[in-house]
């Protein structure tokens, strides 16, 4: 049986061994993080996660959630929070990607409250739930799109980033609508990003949408949406 405390201790030991103080300071400054970094670059970080999680075996969703939340809630360094997210995205968690997982992702989104922590969960984890349970998760995304929490709003907008031709346009536009006139940078950026991704599939539709909402879309959203479309 897994012991969450042991996993976190093993993770910390590996991260400490690879720590780079100079890089750590730069990373923290760039990410504007109140939580310090070890300064472990992404390729090494992925290997640490692979090694530390190799022997984990989850009997059920409860044990998986317990492991994720123990790491997340007790994280002292930002890489430890990245580890919790990696465990959410892991193949070991595939069987547990059901609507019951949404409360876990909601906690990470609300308490993470920054793009490096939210975006992976939004596109990889919430997105996977939406693919599997489109009606149920879609209803929740519509609710989140009107939340007072900007990160839940952002999640509702970008959760279909990798859907391509499977994008539910009605849902995407419904989730964008409440934030069209927002002055919040991370919402404006999310709108442009989501539209730009869909433009790879149907550029004419994105052009039509931008024209139809010309007076409400921010300059940033429009620029991002049309960035890869030849005019």
User: CATH number, domain at 75?
Assistant: 1.25.10.90
The tally of domains found in the chain comes to 1
**Measured distance CA(143)–CA(139) in Å, rounded:** 7
- Residue 11's pLDDT is 96
Structure tokens at 73: 């809630």
The residue ranges of DSSP E strands in the chain, in sequence order, are none
Asked if residue 29 belongs to a domain, the reply is yes
Q: What pTM did the predictor assign?
A: 0.94
Judge whether 49 lies within some domain. Answer: yes
Task: Kindly state whether residue 227 falls inside one of the protein's structural domains.
Answer: no
Identify whether the C-beta of residue 123 lies closer than 8 Å to the C-beta of residue 153: no
Question: Does 105 reside within a domain?
Answer: no
Please give the pLDDT value at position 5.
Answer: 74
Report if residue 213 sits inside a domain: no
Domain contains 11: yes
Is 54 a member of any domain?
Answer: yes
Domain hosting 63: range is 1-95
CA distance 88 to 93: 6
Is 25 within the bounds of a domain? yes
- The confidence score (pLDDT) of residue 93 equals 96
- pLDDT for residue 4: 61
Low-confidence ranges of the chain (pLDDT < 70): 1-4, 231
pLDDT at 222 (0 to 100): 97
């Amino acid at each position: 049986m897994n012991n969450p405390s042991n996993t976190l201790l093993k993770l910390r030991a590996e991260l400490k061994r690879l720590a780079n103080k100079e890089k750590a300071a730069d990373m923290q400054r760039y990410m504007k993080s109140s939580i310090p970094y070890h300064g472990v670059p992404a390729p090494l970080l992925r290997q640490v996660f692979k090694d530390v999680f190799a022997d984990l075996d989850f009997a059920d969703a409860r044990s998986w959630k317990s492991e994720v939340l123990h790491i997340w809630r007790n994280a002292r360094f930002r890489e430890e929070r990245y580890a919790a997210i990696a465990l959410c995205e892991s193949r070991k968690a595939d069987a547990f990607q059901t609507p019951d997982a949404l409360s876990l992702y909601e906690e990470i989104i609300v308490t993470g409250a920054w793009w490096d922590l939210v975006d992976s969960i939004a596109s990889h984890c919430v997105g996977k739930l939406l693919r599997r349970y489109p009606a149920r998760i879609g209803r929740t995304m519509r609710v989140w799109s009107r939340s007072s929490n900007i990160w839940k709003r952002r999640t509702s907008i970008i959760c279909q980033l990798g859907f391509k031709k499977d994008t539910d346009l009605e849902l995407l536009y419904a989730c964008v609508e409440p934030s069209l006139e927002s002055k919040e940078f991370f919402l404006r950026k999310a709108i442009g990003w989501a539209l730009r991704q869909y433009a790879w599939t149907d550029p004419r539709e994105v052009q039509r949408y931008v024209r139809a909402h010309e007076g409400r879309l921010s300059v940033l959203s429009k620029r991002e949406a049309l960035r890869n479309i030849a005019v």
